[in-house]
Amino acid sequence: MISTTRHLADGREIVYFDDAPVSRDAVDPRDLPPVATRSQVRWDPLLGEWVVIAAHRQTRTFLPPTDQCPLCPSTPERATEVPEAHYQVAVFENRFPSLSTEVDRDVPTHAEGNPLVALRPGEGRCEVIVFTADHDRSFADLGAQRARLVVDAWAQRTEVLSALPGVEQVFLFENHGEEIGVTLGHPHGQVYAYPFLAPRVQRVLAQARAYDGDLFADVLAAERTGPRVVAANEHWTAFVPGAARWPYELQLFPHRRVPDVAALTDAERDAFVELYLDVLGRFAHRFEAPMNYISSWNQAPVHEGREDWWLHLQLFSFTRAPGKLKYLAGSESGMGAFVSDTSPEGVAEELRQVVLP
C-alpha cells in the first residue's frame, strides 16, 4: 500500500491510498472558506455519557443527484472533494465534522442553568473514506484486492488518529442504504476519533472486567461451535449473536486477540476480506433487493483497557422483511430495551442458505 497526503482548498487533509506508485498532484481549484465548528460534548449526568452537539451539520449535503456527487473524481467541468481525475481509495477530513481539531475551544464549563451538565469543546476528528471512484458500486462488489486496500487504509487511519492528542477511541464504520440515513449515495465510510469512550465500549469493557474469566474468548469459543455460525475460515468466524438486537445481525471475530485493525497480520487481513465479502453478499441476496446495513468496527480504546479488548465487527440491518424495517419505537428508543422481530438461530440458517452468485 502507498499513501500520499495532499490538501484541499480550505486546508483539509486528503490521503490517497494506492496499491502501486502513482502521481497524485492534482490541485483543488475551489474557493472554499476555512472549516469552522463550535461543536461541543456535553455530559449527561443521569446516563453518565457524553453527547456531541453539532448544530452546524444541519446544512450538510443531503442526497445530491449523481451528477452533483461530491465524492466522485473531479473533472475539468466540476471540482469535487477529491481533486484527482482517478483514484482507488481516498480519505479526507469531513467538511461538516461532528468533531474537529480546529474546534472553537472557548466554551463555558457547563450548560446554562445546570452545572451538572459539563461542557467541553468537540475536539477530535471526522474523516470520510471513499472506497472507490465508481459511484455505482458497493463494498460487496469491490473485489478482494480493492477491499484489502480499504482494510489497509482503515489500519493506517486508526494508527494516525490514535496518536492525536485527546483522542480516546477510533471508530470505523459504514452506513449503507438510504433507510439507514445515508446522505451521499457514493460508496464510502467514515472514521470518528472520539475524545471519550463511546457508551457501547464502556459497557462491554465493564462486562469484560467484571466477568470471572476471559469474556471475549469464552463468547467466541461458544459461538464457533454453536448453531449461529454463518461463515468461517482459518482466521475469522461470522455468527449471529445469541441475543441479537437487530433483525439481521452478525458479529465477525478474529480467532486471535488483537486490539484493533492495525494489529492484524497480512494473513488475517486477507482472511477478513474473504469472509466480509461473503457475508455482505449474503446480506445483498437474502431478499430480492439488497438490505441496508451498518458496519461497525469495535476497536480497543486508545489508552485504557487495550489489554482486555478483542477486536470485532458488527454488521446489522434494519430490514426485517421485504419492504419492512425495524424501527426503534417506544421500548427501544425510550428505555433502550430491544424487542427483536426475528430469531437468531432462524436468521443464521437463512443466511447460510443464501446462494451467492
Q: Which three cell numbers stand for residue 334?
A: 425510550
Q: Are residues 142 and 209 in the same domain?
A: no
Q: Indicate whether 357 belongs to any domain.
A: no
Q: In what order do the strands lie in the sheet with 125-130?
A: 2-7, 13-18, 89-93, 125-130, 188-194, 169-176, 293-298, 312-317, 248-254, 236-239, 229-232
Q: What is the dihedral sign for C-alpha 95, 99, 100, 105?
A: positive
On whether residue 326 sits in a domain, the answer given is yes
Task: Examine the pLDDT at 65 and tell me if it is beyond 80.
Answer: yes
Q: Across the chain, what does the average pLDDT equal? A: 96
State which of 174, 196, 218 marks the end of a domain.
196
Under the banding of pLDDT at 50, 70 and 90, the label for residue 252 is very high
Name the domain boundary from 167, 196, 225.
Answer: 196
What is the structure's pLDDT at 62?
A: 82
Q: Three-state SS string across the chain, please? A: CEEEEEECCCCCEEEEEECCCCCCCCCCCCCCCCCCECCEEEEECCCCEEEEECHHHHHCCCCCCHHHCCCCECCCCCCCCECCCCCCEEEEECCCCCCCCCECCCCCCEECCEEEEEEEECCCEEEEEECCCCCCCCHHHCCHHHHHHHHHHHHHHHHHHHCCCCCCEEEEEEEECHHHCCCCCCCEEEEEEECCCCHHHHHHHHHHHHCCCCHHHHHHHHHHCCCCEEEECCCEEEECCCCCCCCEEEEEEECCCCCCHHHCCHHHHHHHHHHHHHHHHHHHHCCCCCCCEEEEEECCCCCCCHHHCCCEEEEEECEEECCEECCCCHHHHHHCCCCCCCCHHHHHHHHHCCCCC
The CATH number covering residue 118 comes to 3.30.428.10
Number of structural domains in the chain:
2
Task: Examine the domain organization and report whether 70 and 15 are in the same domain.
Answer: yes
Helix 199-210 × helix 215-224 angle, to 10°: 90
Instruction: Indicate the residue among 161, 196, 231 that finishes a domain.
Output: 196
Q: Is the same domain home to 53 and 115?
A: yes
Please report which confidence band the pLDDT of residue 159 belongs to, taking 50, 70 and 90 as the band edges: very high
Handedness of CA 254, 315, 162, 212 (dihedral sign): negative
Is 56 among the catalytic positions?
Answer: no
Co-location of 183 and 217 in the same domain: no
Same domain assignment for residues 182 and 112: yes
- 16 & 88 share domain: yes
Residue recorded with cell 502501486: 20
Residue 59 has pLDDT above 80, yes or no: no
Query: Does residue 253 fall inside a structural domain?
Result: yes
Please calculate the CA angle 225-230-233 and round it to the nearest 5 degrees: 75
Per-residue pLDDT tens for 317-354? 999 999 999 999 999 999 999 999 999 999 999 999 99
d(CA 61, CA 52): 19
pLDDT for the residue 183: 87
In a shared domain, residues 259 and 293: yes
pLDDT of amino acid 36: 81
Is 266 a member of any domain?
Answer: yes
**175 and 47 co-located in one domain:** yes
Rounded to two decimals, what is the model's pTM? Answer: 0.97
| Arithmetic mean of pLDDT, 99-126 | 95
Residue 133 lies in a domain: yes
**What are the residues whose beta carbons fall under 8 Å from the beta carbon of 329, sequence distance 6 or more?**
none
Same domain, 171 and 205: no
pLDDT band at 236 (very low <50, low <70, confident <90, very high): very high
Owning domain of residue 138: 2-196
- Among 7, 56, 86, 188, which one carries the catalytic annotation? 188
**160 and 81 together in one domain:** yes
Are the CB atoms for 128 and 186 separated by under 8 Å?
Answer: no
Are residue 219 and residue 342 in the same domain, yes or no? yes
Q: CB 121: neighbour CB atoms within 10 A?
A: 19
Q: Which of 340, 34, 15 is CA-nearest to residue 155? A: 15
Q: Is residue 304 part of a domain?
A: yes
Task: Looking at the structure, tell me whether residues 189 and 303 fall in a common domain.
Answer: no
The answer to whether position 306 is within a domain reads yes
Give domain status of residue 268, yes or no: yes
